[in-house]
Chain A
Amino acid sequence: MKEAFTMWRHTQMVVLVALSAAIYAAILIPFKGFTIIPGFTEVRPANVFPFVFGLLFGPAGAWGAAIGNLIGDFFGTLGLGSIFGFVGNFFLGFLPYKMWGAFFRRGENMEPTVNTGKKFAVFVSIVVLASTVCAVWIAWFNDLIGFVPFAALASIITVNNAIAGLVLGPILLLLLYPRIKRWGLLWTEIMRPNEVPQARLQTVGAILMWVGGLGALAVGLIIGLGLYQQGFAAAGFSPEGAGQVGGFAIGVGLIPFLILIIVASFMLGGREQVLAAEEESDRVR
């Protein structure tokens, strides 16, 4: 996660944050009227940008997604929910580049595009995971403060994010990648290896991220829909063991999974991608 802070040293990365946030917000705003849960989510084809900008611009894409979503809220829906909208959208742009390296072996071509079957499959799985993690953060907070039930919000945001990424993402990535590379704007070309952390048990980190994201969604839905009363999840949420639907139960029940997501974020590296880009540019020279 170190690179999310060291990136601010580079003027190019600061500009990329501003530009990606502006593009994201500019496409989000016209669709504000196509609401799904008013005030919380709407039809968002613009959600393709966090995946694509995250892969291409790395941490600048993640910050751009978070700020862009906040600016989108400035046009009529700024509220308490905007705080975790910021966090959720940060993860939407953060996970694509963090997880990307975990799918490739050392020495393997890991250019962030979808020109091979394997890269396409990796992109699809990353879109699903990032969509889920983003939804979990936003829905967890909104349920905790009693705004919108977790089950409704988490499922809608997950599907909404994933559709935009899966339908539009591959096309956009194929269109943008060669240009961004030609202009020298890939994050792996701007940042230096010592500014990006080395992966620590990368495979374990990737597994923890999957467990954290999908586990939080599954457990949140089980608690939120009251299904646990019929089974295993009843224990532990109240002295009687009968549990309590939503609210406190979701607030506490999901914390271990959210911690897993944060821990995994520190375990996944990124330096291997910067080193691979350096080797690639050395080969070209």
Chain B
Amino acid sequence: MDPFLYLDRDTFVHRLDPRTKMFLLLGAFGLVFVFVSPLYQLGVLAVVLGFGYLAQSLVNLKRIWFILVMIGVMTVILWSIFGSGETPLFLFVELESVLYGLGIALRIDTTIVAGMIFLSTTRNEEIATGLVKLGIPYRFAFAVSTALRLVPTIASTGSTIGQAQRSRGLDLESGNFIQRVRKFIPLLVPVFVSTIRSTNVFSMALESKGFGASEKRTYFLQLAIRRRDVLVLLGFAVLLAGCIALRMAGYGGLEGFTR
């Protein structure tokens, strides 16, 4: 199974410049903070899901639904314990703290769904080049994109070594959690020792190809902010401004909750 979330589709969201998608992601992170009421947060989530639908990326929800549900349950429980309200519900739990927990759960889930849509529609190379174009130093972006590419390789090497040792009779299932984790060390050590060992060869290969030879680099992947990017960003700005205006008019708050 491909561990990455990226889905190769031909939608207008996929065609947006990665920088536009980064700004939209940051904007979505801001948008979720406008409202506290779970009802209004549901509206924000619906907007984000609608965007995901247009991007044909909601299929990835199947991979993270369990995390989203668990976040919902745990956040409501945590805020019911740590928060307080005015209307008793049962035992020490008040209605306002449950509502606040629901609102926060939706807020967190919305940011994760927004992150999922971003990753489902943006390739690793686009993220790296987009970061450089936004002013992030090339060497940092290179490290991020190289690490992203190496993760599946390391994971599959680890899995192969584990299977090989199991076929020779290694028992990884017995014992408590710490004992089982300790049994994994002899399996993992060859994986990362061989990975780290490649550092010098990797460095020489990079330098022989001119890594860091000149300050100004050219890129195979050409990024450009087009009219559709500007229109999408403008549309989002109007939405954000509308939500802020609604909140300032007194909608979407939650009365009676104290932390």
- Residue positions of B touching A, CB distance < 8 A: 3-5, 29, 32-33, 63-64, 66-67, 70-71, 73-75, 78-79, 82, 104, 107-108, 111-112, 114-116, 118-119, 137, 139-140, 142-144, 146-148, 150-151, 153-155, 158, 177-178, 181-182, 184-185, 188-189, 191-193, 195-200, 202-203, 206-207, 211-212, 258-259
**Cβ–Cβ contact A18 & B142, under 8 A:** yes
The smallest C-beta distance from A146 to any residue of chain B, in angstroms, reads 6
The smallest C-beta distance from A60 to any residue of chain B, in angstroms, reads 9
Q: Which of B78, B82, B199 contacts A12, CB < 8 Å?
A: B199
Q: Which of B115, B178, B185, B199 contacts A79, CB < 8 Å?
A: B115
Q: Which of B32, B114, B144, B258 contacts A21, CB < 8 Å?
A: B144
The stretch among A34-42, A114-122, A195-203 that forms the contact with chain B is: A34-42
**Cβ–Cβ contact B192 & A18, under 8 A:** no
- Chain B CB within 8 A of A22 CB: yes
**Cβ–Cβ contact B199 & A168, under 8 A:** no
The stretch among A90-98, A148-156, A253-261 that forms the contact with chain B is: A148-156
Q: Which of B114, B146, B212 contacts A18, CB < 8 Å?
A: B146
- Complex CA distance for A30 and B147, rounded to whole angstroms: 16
Q: Which of B146, B181, B203 contacts A168, CB < 8 Å?
A: B181
Q: Is the interface of A mostly helix, strand, loop or mixed?
A: helix
Q: Is the interface of B mostly helix, strand, loop or mixed?
A: helix
- Complex CA distance for A74 and B6, rounded to whole angstroms: 10
Between B66, B181, B189, the greatest number of chain A beta carbons within 10 A of the residue's beta carbon is seen for B181
- Complex CA distance for A176 and B74, rounded to whole angstroms: 38
The stretch among A124-132, A180-188, A206-214, A264-272 that forms the contact with chain B is: A180-188
**Cβ–Cβ contact A37 & B203, under 8 A:** no
**B contact residues around A81 at 8 Å (CB):** 108, 111
The smallest C-beta distance from B149 to any residue of chain A, in angstroms, reads 8
Known contacts being A185-B196, A246-B82, is A37 close to B147, with CB within 8 Å?
A: no
- Chain B CB within 8 A of A262 CB: no
Q: Which of A22, A148, A151 contacts B195, CB < 8 Å?
A: A22
**Cβ–Cβ contact B137 & A8, under 8 A:** yes
- Complex CA distance for A180 and B258, rounded to whole angstroms: 53
Which single residue of chain B is at the shortest CB-CB distance from A83? Answer: B29
Known contacts being A38-B74, A80-B29, A167-B182, is A15 close to B147, with CB within 8 Å?
A: no
**Cβ–Cβ contact B139 & A19, under 8 A:** no
Which single residue of chain B is at the shortest CB-CB distance from A70? Answer: B144
If A15-B202, A71-B147 are given as contacts, then 19 extra A-B residue pairs at C-beta distance below 8 Å, sorted by A number, are A8-B137, A15-B206, A22-B153, A22-B154, A23-B192, A25-B151, A26-B151, A38-B70, A38-B74, A39-B70, A43-B177, A71-B151, A74-B119, A74-B148, A75-B4, A82-B115, A183-B200, A185-B196, A244-B258
**Cβ–Cβ contact A246 & B259, under 8 A:** yes
Which single residue of chain A is at the shortest CB-CB distance from B148? Answer: A71
Contacts A/B (CB < 8 Å), 5 sampled: A15-B206, A23-B196, A76-B5, A76-B112, A78-B119
- Complex CA distance for A172 and B196, rounded to whole angstroms: 14
- Complex CA distance for A81 and B71, rounded to whole angstroms: 13
The smallest C-beta distance from A56 to any residue of chain B, in angstroms, reads 9
